[in-house]
Structure 1
Amino acid sequence: MTVYALYILNKAGGLIFQRDYGTELAKLSSNDYLVLAGTFHGVHAISAKLSPIEGSSGIQTMETEKYALTCFQTVTGIKFLLITDLRQQFVDSVLKRVYQLFADYVMKSPFYQLDMPIRCSLFDLHLNKYLESVS
């Protein structure tokens, strides 16, 4: 599995973390990343409401010809979006491990304020090391 990008959205749909890995995806402006996050948040919420299945969590995976976007939503509403190639084996376990790293290095940091952009060097270090190992 090749990881192209990771985005973390807060419960209101704001982009609090964004990393691109590799050069396969087109580079976006910072404004485009914010629009992408807000749009996905809205579509995710609408799809959860439109689902005929009671308690549906919304969009979990979107696929194109070249990549797949997988969403993992926590109980608190934080969304982890992982863009990978189509050979997305074990993507759920990868997202859960990313969430563990987030909980360990971001949420336990005394300097992090909820729903604010993530600026944590230990999280960056361990996240990069982990995503390199799965790519």
Structure 2
Amino acid sequence: MGVKSIYILNKAGGLIFQRDFGDSLSKLDSNDYLVIAGTLHSVHAITTRISPVAGSSGLTVMETPSFSLHIFQSQTGIKFMILTDRQQYGIDSIASRIHHLYSDYVMKNPFYTLEMPIRCEKFDRYLGAYISTVA
């Protein structure tokens, strides 16, 4: 499977959504996910400030021998972090579609409070269905 995990962070760097896909990842506990999200948020903020390019958006891709991490930040400051196989292509369109699903099923949900953890069954279901088609 191409997409291994998705993290969504609020403007302050708090983890508001996390989901693993497939069996390739070992399951972590909730504290580990919070530490990962906080670390990635910090690294992204630091790279935005130390970049030699004026107006840089900071860290957008990090590649290792076994996976790639892609970071997409929306206009509102929400960060979508997508962990994929190295061979996965079309990450920009995947991130755009995930943002679209977030906008449709989370932001339009009258019971959702901004900056709080996402507990939206429709978003989770449609996200899972979409990621299964990307693989």
TM-score normalised by structure 2 residue count: 0.97
Q: Percent of pairs identical after alignment?
A: 57
Q: What CA distance in whole angstroms lies between the structure 2 residues aligned with 1:43 and 1:83?
A: 16
**2:127 pairs with 1:127:** yes
Q: Which runs of 4+ in 1 moved over 3 A?
A: none
Q: What CA distance in whole angstroms lies between the structure 1 residues aligned with 2:12 and 2:92?
A: 23
**2:116 pairs with 1:116:** yes
Counterpart of 2:44 in structure 1 is: 44
Counterpart of 1:2 in structure 2 is: 2
**2:13 pairs with 1:13:** yes
Instruction: Give aligned pairs, total.
Output: 135
CA deviation string 1:33-85 (max 9, x = no partner) = 00000000000000010001111011001111111010000011100011110
**2:119 pairs with 1:90:** no
Q: What CA distance in whole angstroms lies between the structure 1 residues aligned with 2:134 and 2:101?
A: 15
**Superposed displacement of residue 17, structure 1:** 0.2
Gaps of 5+ in 1: none
What is the identity, as a one-letter code, of the residue corresponding to 1:81?
Answer: M
Secondary structure of the structure 2 residue equivalent to 1:58: coil
TM-score normalised by structure 1 residue count: 0.97
Gaps of 5+ in 2: none
